C-alpha cells in the first residue's frame, strides 16, 4: 500500500535525479525470525500456507495507536486453522492476540479463506480471501470477499462481496486476489483496494463512498503494448501508486517480462529494464523525500534466494535503479517455496530511512532498515544569463554529510569540464533547513545552448550527479569569433563563430604579410547560432597566422600559431 510517509526530522542524504545515491545503500537487520537463524516460529510452517503480510499503526481497542505487523497463515497441508497473527513491529514478538472472527468466514471450494492482509493509512485492517473460478457449467462461482477490523479487539465486518465475471472465456481457473494492495484512508473516502485475476489481463479497483463500509468495483483491462499482450499467469502481484483512479505496478511470477507500470486505465506506461530480478511475487510503491521507490519480494522455488529488492523509480519505472537488497532468507537451511509466494510492506522513518517488512513463505519473516537516509532530489536547479554571464542557482531541501558541489560545464566534445567548487552552507554538511546556492560562469561562452550540472561531493567521497540543465546564451555583440583550440596547432584545430543577425560572412586565414592563405567559410550563417570550422595546417609553414571574420562592416580576429 502507498504509505503516508511524512518525515518530521528530515536529515537526508542528497541525491540528484537519475544517478547513484550519495550513500551506497544496504539494509541493517532489525529483527528476523527464520530458518536461517533457527528461530522461525512454529506457526510459520513449511507447507506454503503463510503468504500475506502488512504493517500499520492501529487502535489497540482502548484508543491507543500501536504499531503492529500482521501475518496471514493457516490452511495448508498440515490442517492448521486460518489466522492473522499480530506481531510487535519493534521486535517481531507475537502479541498473543490474533484477530478475531476468522473461524466464521466461509471456505471457498477452490481457493483460500484468507490470503492477504493490509492496513489503511488511518489504521483500518483489511483482509481478503482468494478464489479460483473455472466457470464450468457444473461448478459454482466463488465470491471474492474482504473484511475489516477497526481495532485489534473488534469483530470483523464484511465489506466486499463481489461475484467476478468470466474473463478468459475458457475453463482455465481465474485465481482472484492472490495478492491485493491498499491506498488511502477510510475516513475521507480515499480508501482504494486493487487486485487482479490470474490467467487474464483484468484487474479490479474497489473504491468507497461510505468510509469503507462498502465498495464499488471498476474493471480494468491491462492493454497490450509494443511488447505484445499483457503477461498472464498463475500468480500476480499489484502495487497501487495512489488512491482512487491511480497508476499501478504489476508483476507476474515466472513471466518472461519484467515488472510493468500501468496507467489508471490499464494502458502500459513502462517496463522495468532489469532493475528487478524478474522472479518477484509482491510489489509496493512508496515515496520518500520527493522520490518514488518500489520494493519487491524476490523468490526462487528452491528457497535459496528469498529477499526484498529496493529500486529507485523516480525518473521512470523503465529507468529504475536498484539500490539495496535485504538479507537473504535462503542463506542457510533454505526451505523450498514452490508456489513463489511472499510479501513486503514498508514504513518511512523520521530520519528518511525506510524499514521494510519481508515475509518469505516457509522461510521466515523480518524487518530491515536502510543503513542511511534514502536520498532526495534537489529542490531546484536553474540558470539565467545577464550580459553574457550565466548565473546558476540551486536549492536543497535538506542535506546530510554534504561537503559541497562541483559545478561542471559540458564541452563541445561531450565531456564535462570543472568550473569551480561551492562548499556546503550547512554546519558539518548536515541540516534540515533549505539552503540556497549561486555560482557565476564568467567564461566567454559561445552563443547558443550550454549544459551545466552539479557533482555533489559527500564527506565519504561519493559523488552523485544532478540531471543537467540547459541555459541559452544570447549574442552580446554583432560578431563573435572564438579562439582556435588547440592553439598552438600541429595538424588541425577548431574554432567557432556566430553573428547576431543573419548576414554575409567570411572567415579566412591570413599570414603576417596580410596575404590570404585560405577561406574557411563564406555564406550567411543563421542568427545567434554558433558555427564551427576546422583549420587544417598540414600544408602551412610554421609561424603565426591570423583568423579573420568579416561581416556587416565589422571584423574580429584571433591569433593562430602553427608548429611542426
Contacts of 222 (CB under 8 A, 6+ apart): 196, 201, 202, 203, 230, 250, 260, 262, 266, 268
Q: Which single residue is written with the C-alpha cell 465498495?
A: 215
Q: Which residue in the block uniquely carries the three cell numbers 477452490?
A: 110
In angstroms, the CA 171 to CA 135 distance is 6
What does the pLDDT read at residue 137?
47
Q: What is the pLDDT of residue 20?
A: 32
pLDDT attached to residue 377: 59
491 dihedral zone (left: phi>0; alpha: psi -120 to 50; beta): left
The predicted pLDDT at position 9 comes to 25
pLDDT of residue 82: 96
Nearest 5°: phi and psi at 12? -120, 150
Calpha distance 153→146 (Å, rounded): 18
Residues 234-243 pLDDT 10s: 667 899 999 9
Burial of 521: CB neighbours in 10 Å, binned 0-12, 13-18, 19+: middle
Q: What is the pLDDT of residue 226?
A: 65
User: What does the longest C-alpha to C-alpha distance in the chain come to?
Assistant: 106
CA atoms of 53 and 118, how far apart (whole Å): 7
Task: Identify the DSSP state of 330.
Answer: G
Rounded-to-integer distance, Cα 159 and Cα 177, Å: 15
Instruction: Supply the Cα-derived Rg of the chain in whole angstroms.
Output: 31
Q: pLDDT of the chain along its 564 residues, tens only?
A: 344 333 222 222 333 333 333 344 689 999 999 999 999 999 999 888 999 999 999 999 999 999 999 999 998 766 789 999 999 999 999 999 999 999 999 998 888 999 999 999 999 999 999 988 755 544 557 899 999 999 999 999 999 999 888 776 666 567 888 899 999 999 999 999 999 988 788 899 999 999 999 999 999 999 877 666 677 766 678 999 999 999 999 988 654 568 899 999 999 999 888 888 878 889 999 987 667 899 999 988 888 889 999 998 987 888 888 888 999 999 999 999 988 899 999 998 877 789 999 999 999 999 999 887 665 557 789 999 887 789 999 998 778 788 899 999 998 777 899 999 999 998 888 887 888 999 999 777 878 889 999 988 888 777 777 878 899 888 778 888 889 989 999 989 999 898 988 999 999 999 988 889 899 999 999 888 888 899 998 889 999 999 999 998 888 999 999 998
Cα separation, 51 vs 44, whole angstroms: 10
Q: Specify the pLDDT at position 505.
A: 93
363-400 core/surface letters (b: 16 or more CB in 10 A; e: else): bbbbbbbbebbbbbbbeebebebeebebebebebbbbb
Q: Which three cell numbers stand for residue 409?
A: 560545464
DSSP classification of residue 346: E
Cα separation of 534 and 58, whole Å? Answer: 71
pLDDT score recorded for residue 190 = 97
**Domains and their CATH numbers in the chain:** 27-370 (2.120.10.10), 380-473 (2.60.40.10), 479-562 (2.60.40.2550)
C-alpha cell at 535: 583549420
- Sheet containing 236-240: which strands, arranged edge to edge? 236-240, 248-252, 260-262, 268-271
Mind listing the pLDDT tens digit for each residue in 266-296? Answer: 999 998 888 888 788 899 999 876 678 999 9
Amino acid at each position: 500500500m502507498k504509505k503516508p510517509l511524512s518525515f518530521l526530522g528530515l536529515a537526508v542524504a542528497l541525491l540528484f535525479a537519475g544517478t547513484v545515491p550519495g550513500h551506497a545503500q544496504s539494509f541493517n537487520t532489525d529483527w528476523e525470525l527464520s530458518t536461517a537463524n533457527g528461530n522461525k516460529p512454529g506457526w510459520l510452517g513449511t507447507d506454503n500456507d503463510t503468504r500475506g503480510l502488512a504493517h500499520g499503526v492501529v487502535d489497540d481497542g482502548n484508543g491507543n495507536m500501536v504499531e503492529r505487523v500482521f501475518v496471514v497463515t493457516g490452511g495448508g497441508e498440515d490442517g492448521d486453522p486460518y489466522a492473522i497473527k499480530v506481531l510487535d513491529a519493534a521486535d517481531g514478538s507475537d502479541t498473543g492476540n490474533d484477530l478475531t472472527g476468522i473461524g466464521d468466514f466461509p471456505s471457498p471450494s477452490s481457493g483460500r479463506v484468507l490470503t492477504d492482509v493490509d492496513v489503511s493509512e488511518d489504521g483500518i485492517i483489511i483482509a481478503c480471501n482468494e478464489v479460483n473460478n473455472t466457470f464450468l457449467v457444473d461448478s459454482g462461482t466463488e465470491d471474492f470477499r474482504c473484511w475489516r477490523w477497526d481495532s485489534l479487539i473488534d469483530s470483523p465486518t464484511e465489506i466486499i462481496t463481489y461475484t467476478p465475471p468470466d474473463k478468459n472465456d475458457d475453463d482455465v481457473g481465474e485465481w482472484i486476489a492472490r495478492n491485493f494492495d491498499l491506498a488511502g484512508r477510510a475516513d475521507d473516502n480515499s480508501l482504494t483496494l486493487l487486485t487482479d485475476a490470474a490467467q487474464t489481463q483484468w484487474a479490479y479497483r474497489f473504491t468507497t463512498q461510505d468510509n469503507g463500509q462498502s465498495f464499488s468495483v471498476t474493471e480494468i483491462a491491462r492493454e497490450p503494448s509494443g511488447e505484445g499482450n499483457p503477461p498472464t499467469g498463475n500468480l500476480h502481484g499489484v502495487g497501487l501508486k495512489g488512491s482512487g483512479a491511480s497508476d499501478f505496478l504489476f508483476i507476474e511470477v515466472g513471466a518472461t517480462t519484467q515488472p510493468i507500470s500501468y496507467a489508471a486505465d490499464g494502458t502500459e506506461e513502462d517496463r522495468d529494464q532489469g532493475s528487478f530480478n524478474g522472479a518477484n511475487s509482491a510489489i509496493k510503491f512508496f515515496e520518500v523525500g520527493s522520490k518514488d521507490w518500489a520494493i519487491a519480494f524476490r523468490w526462487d522455488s528452491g528457497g535459496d534466494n528469498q529477499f526484498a529488492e529496493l529500486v529507485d523509480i523516480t525518473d521512470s519505472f523503465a529507468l529504475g535503479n536498484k539500490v539495496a537488497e535485504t538479507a537473504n532468507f535462503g542463506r542457510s537451511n533454505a526451505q523450498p517455496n514452490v508456489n513463489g509466494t511472499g510479501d513486503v510492506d514498508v514504513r518511512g522513518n523520521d530520519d528518511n530511512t525506510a524499514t521494510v517488512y519481508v515475509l518469505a513463505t516457509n522461510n521466515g519473516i523480518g524487518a530491515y532498515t536502510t543503513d542511511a537516509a534514502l536520498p532526495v532530489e534537489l529542490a531546484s536547479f536553474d540558470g539565467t544569463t545577464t550580459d553574457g554571464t550565466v548565473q546558476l542557482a540551486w536549492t536543497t531541501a535538506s542535506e546530510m554529510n554534504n561537503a559541497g558541489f562541483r559545478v561542471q560545464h559540458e564541452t563541445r566534445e561531450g565531456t564535462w569540464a570543472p568550473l569551480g567548487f561551492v562548499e556546503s552552507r550547512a554546519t558539518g554538511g548536515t541540516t534540515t533547513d533549505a539552503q540556497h546556492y549561486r555560482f557565476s560562469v564568467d567564461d566567454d561562452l559561445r552563443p547558443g545552448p550550454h549544459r551545466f550540472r552539479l557533482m555533489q561531493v559527500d564527506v565519504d567521497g561519493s559523488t552523485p550527479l544532478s540531471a543537467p540543465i540547459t541555459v541559452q546564451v544570447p549574442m552580446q555583440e554583432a560578431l563573435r569569433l572564438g579562439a582556435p583550440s588547440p592553439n598552438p596547432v600541429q595538424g588541425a584545430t577548431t574554432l567557432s563563430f556566430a553573428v547576431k543577425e543573419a548576414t554575409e560572412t567570411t572567415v579566412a586565414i591570413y599570414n603576417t604579410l596580410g596575404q590570404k592563405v585560405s577561406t574557411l567559410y563564406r555564406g550567411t550563417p543563421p542568427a545567434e547560432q554558433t558555427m564551427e570550422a576546422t583549420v587544417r595546417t598540414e600544408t602551412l609553414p610554421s609561424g603565426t597566422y591570423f583568423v579573420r571574420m568579416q561581416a556587416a562592416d565589422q571584423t574580429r580576429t584571433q591569433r593562430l600559431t602553427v608548429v611542426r
